[in-house]
Amino acid sequence: MKLSNRHNFPFPIGVEYYRAPEPHQEYWDRDFEQLHKSGFKIVRSFTYWNRMEPRPGIYELDDIDQLFDTAAKHDLGVWLDIVLGTHGACPEWLTREHPDIKVVNYKGHVSLHDAHPAMPQGVQIHCYDHPAWKEYGGNLLRHIVNRYKDRPNMRIWGLWDGIALPSVWSRDTDGYPCYCENTLKKYDRWLRDKYTLDELNSRLLRRYRRWEDVEPPRSNNSVLEMFLYRQFHYENLAKQLRWMVNETKKLDSVHETRSHGGWLPKPLDEFCAPHADSWGMSMSSNNLLTSDDPHKIADRQFIFDWARSVGRNNRWWIEEIYAGMSPGGVTWSKQSDPSELTTLLWMSMACGAAGAMFWQYRPEYLSFESPGYNLVRLDGKPTPRFKAVTKAVQEIESLSEYLPIECPQSEVAIVYHPASQELFNYGNESDRFLSDLRGVYRTLWTNGIQADVVTPKMDWKGYRLIFLPNVTLMDEQTRGKISTTLDSNPETQFVAEGSFGMYSRNGQSSYLPPEGFSERLEINVADVSAIDSLDISEGRNILNTMYGKESISSPCGYAILEPSGNTEEIASLNNNTVGVRTKDKSFTWYGLTLSAGFGNIASNNIVMGHINEAGINAQVETKDKWVIPITRTSKKGGKITFLFNLRNKKSSVNVSTKWDTNIVRDLILQSNIEINDKGIPVTIEPWGVKVLFFG
């Protein structure tokens, strides 16, 4: 069956539909007809290994065949997930015939068969390092690719949903990696390939005299050892994904291969993302827009920009916009407002996504995620969420001649440092790290300043201002990138926040922080302390800065800094120096993060003070903190600005731009806007979006 040109649409939108055996096939024809009429382009199947191969080498895929047939009948493409890892159980016969394929936790306990609210038919308990995983999983992978690669409506291979270490769903692992015999043998070979025993001792500050004495760490308190063990696991995970991609590409070089992480950045992302054609994330819709602090939705755009940054050739999808509350089950929480779903959809487009998928069309039915994530009711009839999403899908369709959206490099970068996140994780401070990472981003976003999210592996050229939130573990690559940028890009200014260079490359505390920069920047760390709630209540919370006084409103830690030579104090707290700047103004360090003391929202005065000093201006201004502009470029050559109204009432603003323009077109209403002496008058519906094209 020949498909229409709608499959070439530059921003396709789809929905997860089939997680076998639900929903029943008697509903597919009606549902797919409704999806086609509503403008959706793709349906996704997410079926577990133990259902697809219930007997060794016997693949029962009649339902997947029917999915392709029914989708083609209604001019829908198919996104097919091949679930060999992270989600869902391997076949029961595989764990019976190969009991040593099971994950072993850090205490030496073997994982038993288990379930999850989303996986009542069994969670993953198998380890990727057992040879049988590639043997049987590879056979299934190749069979599926061969079986469906020539289907006219085949669109995307979902090779690894929510890529993660094999222990992710096991309740007794406490977040630690696997310790089965196959993994430990691999780790031993990995260590021996990288180090001599003397080199390993030097790295770990140990006195091993035989390789047989080297044990993997079983506690995050073994910081130096755990860094190596986690690095091994991340590299190993990336190799497994690369194997899946290569096996697929041998048989099918046409269709896109996909993998994705979560809605928070993780250290494994940068290891894994380059191996698939595109990257992405799942994205909960937990009433951020409709909360008492709708600016929290900036956290979602942050991860969009991260996915774009880390994806191969910047290609990424929002793979799962959860279409409702989380969790569902027998009791219920507040359902997501339709406007939150449509806002996330438009935001993903504004951040250059290749397309967007919702999770999911019908409820799960079998699990305690039912009801909850669904676009339509339990009986299949539309909800207000489905109607709102349909309207947005059709509005996006009308923009086709302006797509795809391109995201030019910003003038500001925020450095996400995976190794430092690892260290914070070991200290049970992951939430603190992520809050500080997103704090400056949110403040910039509120002021209409676009920021890129980068790592030390990426190119830093061309940025005028680079924020370094908690870049605490100073490995060689990070130290080199900062030094090179200081030497070769005199126009770039750095602002380090919080725990900068407090740890050396192997994970131990630095003898002379900031590690590798104390002499160059003429800074020492005199001590560390914190502001607590009593300090705040008694007025010992005034931060004096070159941009004015700031009242610290939430408890936070800080480093007491000691400048020397030409480096000067620029901020103090209770007569202690907590902010310094080099004479040439190229490097500023605040001993506290700009977010921790201010309710996880970076100080507007300090952040915008640095923005103004760097000569950076918002491309578009609305003079309304509730209307957030995001400006990109169009394939037509002009600029496109998305204006997001964060309030549940109409907003009327006069938009001004950094550039001169003669033609402004409202792309949703398909009408021109007349420019007056006050700017470009725009009215935006409650929790709505306006899309303007500047010719």
User: Do 633 and 645 form a contact (C-beta atoms < 8 A)?
Assistant: no
Distance of alpha carbon 357 from alpha carbon 573, whole angstroms: 48
- Contacts with 58 (C-beta within 8 Å, 6 or more apart), sequence order: none
- Residue 196 lies inside a defined structural domain of this protein: no
- Share of the chain residues as helix, strand and coil, in percent rounded to the nearest 5: 35, 25, 40
Are 349 and 437 members of one domain? no
Q: How confident is the model at residue 288 (pLDDT cuts 50, 70, 90)?
A: very high
Torsion sign across C-alpha atoms 361, 79, 122, 57: positive
- Residue 186 lies inside a defined structural domain of this protein: no
Q: What does the mean pLDDT of the chain come to?
A: 95
Under DSSP, the state recorded for 111 is P
Distance of alpha carbon 318 from alpha carbon 10, whole angstroms: 14
Under DSSP, the state recorded for 668 is T
Are 148 and 253 members of one domain? yes
Q: What pLDDT score does 328 carry?
A: 78
> What is the maximal distance between C-alpha atoms in the chain?
80
Strand partners, 185: none
Phi-psi region of 213 (alpha: psi -120 to 50; beta: other; left: phi over 0): alpha
Q: Which residue has the tokens 């496109």?
A: 640
- Contacts with 43 (C-beta within 8 Å, 6 or more apart), sequence order: 14, 15, 16, 17, 18, 32, 35, 67, 71, 76, 77, 78, 79, 361
Work out the average pLDDT over 93-122.
92
Q: What pLDDT score does 118 carry?
A: 81
Are 365 and 425 members of one domain? no
- Which of 609, 631, 612 has the alpha carbon at shortest distance from 620? 631
- Residue 138 lies inside a defined structural domain of this protein: yes
- Residue 599 lies inside a defined structural domain of this protein: yes
Are 124 and 69 members of one domain? yes
Q: How confident is the model at residue 424 (pLDDT cuts 50, 70, 90)?
A: very high
- Residue 569 lies inside a defined structural domain of this protein: yes
Work out the average pLDDT over 103-111.
94
Q: What pLDDT score does 522 carry?
A: 97
User: Do 552 and 597 form a contact (C-beta atoms < 8 A)?
Assistant: yes
pLDDT for 332 beyond 70: yes
User: Do 667 and 640 form a contact (C-beta atoms < 8 A)?
Assistant: yes
Calculate ∠ Cα 232-237-242, nearest 5°.
125
For the record, the structure tokens of 516 come out as: 């590798």
Q: How many domains does the chain have?
A: 3
Which of 397, 427, 459 marks a domain boundary? 397
- Residue 50 lies inside a defined structural domain of this protein: yes
Phi-psi region of 599 (alpha: psi -120 to 50; beta: other; left: phi over 0): left
pLDDT for 172 beyond 80: no
Are 639 and 538 members of one domain? no
Q: What is the pLDDT of residues 352-388, one digit of tens each?
A: 999 999 999 999 898 888 888 999 999 999 999 999 9
Q: What pLDDT score does 167 carry?
A: 80
Q: How many CB atoms lie within 10 A of CB 507?
A: 21
Q: How many CB atoms lie within 10 A of CB 207?
A: 7
Are 609 and 631 members of one domain? no
**CA-derived radius of gyration, the chain:** 26
Distance of alpha carbon 86 from alpha carbon 421, whole angstroms: 22
Distance of alpha carbon 12 from alpha carbon 6, whole angstroms: 9
Question: 655: domain CATH number?
Answer: 2.60.40.1180
Are 549 and 658 members of one domain? no
Calculate ∠ Cα 186-191-195, nearest 5°.
155
Distances from the Cα of 110 to the Cα of 92, 99, 113, 120, angstroms:
15, 9, 10, 20
Work out the average pLDDT over 81-96.
93
Q: What is the pLDDT of residues 629-644, one digit of tens each?
A: 999 999 888 999 999 9
Q: What is the DSSP string of 127-156?
A: -TTSHHHHHHHHHHHHHHHHHHTT-TTEEE
User: Do 318 and 280 form a contact (C-beta atoms < 8 A)?
Assistant: yes
User: Do 14 and 41 form a contact (C-beta atoms < 8 A)?
Assistant: yes
Q: What is the DSSP string of 468-481?
A: EET--EE-HHHHHH
Which of 613, 644, 659 marks a domain boundary? 613
Amino acid identity at 343: T
Q: Which residue has the tokens 């390993």?
A: 200
How many Cα atoms sit within 13 Å of 57 on the Cβ side?
1
Q: How confident is the model at residue 95 (pLDDT cuts 50, 70, 90)?
A: very high
478-483, long-range: CB < 8 A, 24+ apart? 478/417, 478/419, 479/515, 479/516, 479/517, 481/456, 482/517, 483/516, 483/520
- Residue 544 lies inside a defined structural domain of this protein: yes
Q: How confident is the model at residue 559 (pLDDT cuts 50, 70, 90)?
A: very high
Distance of alpha carbon 226 from alpha carbon 215, whole angstroms: 11
Are 674 and 582 members of one domain? no
Higher pLDDT among residues 578 and 3, named by residue:
578
User: Do 102 and 175 form a contact (C-beta atoms < 8 A)?
Assistant: no
Q: What pLDDT score does 550 carry?
A: 96
Under DSSP, the state recorded for 546 is T
- Element of type H or E holding 503: strand 503-504
Q: Which domain holds residue 465?
A: 412-613
Alpha helical stretches, state H, 311-378: 338-350
pLDDT for 232 beyond 80: yes
* pTM (2 d.p.): 0.96
Q: How many CB atoms lie within 10 A of CB 685?
A: 13
Are 634 and 594 members of one domain? no
Are 21 and 57 members of one domain? yes
- Indicate the burial class of 57 (C-beta count within 10 angstroms; 0-12, 13-18, 19 or more): exposed
- The answer, yes or no, to whether the previous bond of 382 is cis (omega within 30 of 0) is no
Distance of alpha carbon 682 from alpha carbon 676, whole angstroms: 11
- Contacts with 688 (C-beta within 8 Å, 6 or more apart), sequence order: 339, 645
Distance of alpha carbon 362 from alpha carbon 375, whole angstroms: 6
* Share of residues in the chain with pLDDT > 70 (%): 99
- Element of type H or E holding 562: strand 556-563
Q: What is the pLDDT of residues 178-205, one digit of tens each?
A: 999 999 999 999 999 999 999 999 999 9
Tell how far CA 213 is from the center of its chain.
39
Q: How confident is the model at residue 6 (pLDDT cuts 50, 70, 90)?
A: low
Strand partners, 80: 45, 157
At 81, give phi and psi (nearest 5°).
-85, 135
pLDDT for 327 beyond 80: no
User: Do 394 and 448 form a contact (C-beta atoms < 8 A)?
Assistant: no
- Which of 252, 271, 241, 242 has the alpha carbon at shortest distance from 166? 241
Are 144 and 86 members of one domain? yes
Are 373 and 429 members of one domain? no
Distance of alpha carbon 254 from alpha carbon 249, whole angstroms: 8
Higher pLDDT among residues 79 and 677, named by residue:
79
- Residue 209 lies inside a defined structural domain of this protein: no
Q: What pLDDT score does 4 carry?
A: 62
Q: Which SS3 state, helix, strand or coil, does residue 34 take?
A: helix
For the record, the structure tokens of 661 come out as: 């323009």
